[in-house]
Chain A
Amino acid sequence: MSEFLMFLTNGLVMGGINAISALGVSLVVGIMRVINFAHGEMYIFGGYLSYQLAVGAGIPPVLSMLCSVAAVFLGGLAIEKWLIRPTYGDEMYSLIITFILSIILQNAALLIFGPYPVKPPSLVFGATNIFGLFHYGNQRLLSLALAAGIIGAIMYLVRRTWFGKSVRAISQDREMAAMLGVDHLKVNMISFGLGCALAASAGAIIAPIFPVTPSGSGAVSLTAFVVVVLGGMGSLKGCIAGGVILGVLENLGAAYISTDYRHIFGFIILIGVLVLRPWGLFGKRI
Chain B
Amino acid sequence: MKRAGLAGVFLIAILVPFFLNQYWLHVAIISLFYVMMASSWNLIAGYTGQVSFAHAAFAGVGAYTSGMLALYGGVHPALGIIAGTLLAGVLGLGLGGLCIRMGGIYLSLTTLGFSEILRIIITNEEQWTRGTMGLQIPGVFSVYSKTHYYFLFLAVTLAFLVLMRRLLNSDTGLAFRAVLNDELAASTSGIDTVRVRLMAFTSSSAMAGLAGGLYGHYLMLITPDIPSLGQMFLVLAMAVIGGMGSFAGPIIGAIALEFLSEYIRIYGEYHLLLFGLVALVIARFAPSGMVGLWEKIWRRR
Q: Name A's B-contacting residues (CB within 8 A).
A: 29, 33, 35, 37, 82-83, 86, 91-93, 95-97, 99-101, 103-104, 107-108, 110-111, 218-219, 221-222, 225-226, 229, 233, 260-261, 263-264, 266-267, 270-271, 274-275, 278-279
- Are A263 and B116 CB-contacts (below 8 A) given A83-B284, A100-B236, A103-B230? yes
Separation in Å of the A234 CB from the closest CB of chain B?
A: 11
Is A103 in contact with B272, judged by CB distance below 8 angstroms?
Answer: yes
Q: How far is the CA of A251 from the CA of B178 in the complex (A)?
A: 46
Q: How many residues of B contact A (CB 8 A)?
A: 40
Seen from chain B, the residues whose Cβ lies within 8 Å of a Cβ on chain A are 45, 49-51, 53, 98-99, 101-102, 104-106, 108-110, 112-114, 116-117, 120-121, 124, 229-230, 233, 236-237, 240, 269-270, 272-273, 276-277, 279-280, 283-284, 287
With A93-B283, A100-B233, A267-B117 given, name 6 new contacts (CB 8 A).
A35-B109, A95-B51, A218-B116, A221-B112, A222-B113, A264-B120
Task: Please give, as numbers and ranges, the residues of chain A lying within 8 Å of B101 by CB-CB distance.
Answer: 278
Q: Tell me, in angstroms, the Cα distance from A267 to B101 when the chains sit together.
A: 19
Whether the Cβ atoms of A95 and B105 lie closer than 8 Å is: yes
Given contacts A92-B49, A95-B51, A95-B104, contact A270 B276 (CB under 8 A): no
A142 to chain B, nearest CB (A): 30
Known: A29-B105, A222-B116. A97 touches B269 (CB 8 A): no
A29, A92, A261, A278: the one contacting B104 at CB < 8 Å is A92
Contacts of A270 in B (CB 8 A): 109-110, 113
CA distance A274 to B101 in the complex (A): 10
Contact between chains at A92 and B51 (CB < 8 Å) = yes
- Chain B minimum-CB-distance residue to A263: B120
Chain B residue with Cβ nearest A104: B276
Counted as pairs of residues, one from A and one from B, with CB atoms less than 8 Å apart, the total is 111
Contact A110/B283 with A91-B105, A226-B113, A274-B110 known, Cβ cut-off 8 Å: no
Contact A97 B113 (CB under 8 A): no
* CB-based nearest B residue for A107: B273
Q: Which of B124, B269, B270 contacts A260 (CB 8 A)?
A: B124
Known: A91-B104, A100-B276. A267 touches B283 (CB 8 A): no
Q: Which residue of A lies closest to B119 (CB)?
A: A218
Question: Please, how many angstroms separate the alpha-carbon atoms of A93 and B282 in the complex?
Answer: 11
Nearest 3 A-B pairs (CB), nearest first? A104-B276, A107-B273, A274-B98
Q: Contacts A222-B116, A263-B116, A274-B106 given; indicate if A107 touches B272 (C-beta within 8 A).
A: yes
Please pick, from A82, A96, A229, A263, the residue contacting B117 in the complex, using a CB distance under 8 A.
A263
Residue of A nearest to B108 (CB): A95
- Which of B108, B114, B236 is within 8 Å of A267, CB to CB? B114
CB distance from B98 to the nearest CB of A (A): 4
A-B contact pairs, 8 of them (CB 8 A): A92-B51, A93-B287, A99-B53, A100-B276, A104-B280, A107-B273, A270-B110, A278-B101
Q: Are A260 and B276 in contact (CB under 8 A)?
A: no
Q: Which residues of B contact A271 (CB under 8 A)?
A: 98, 110
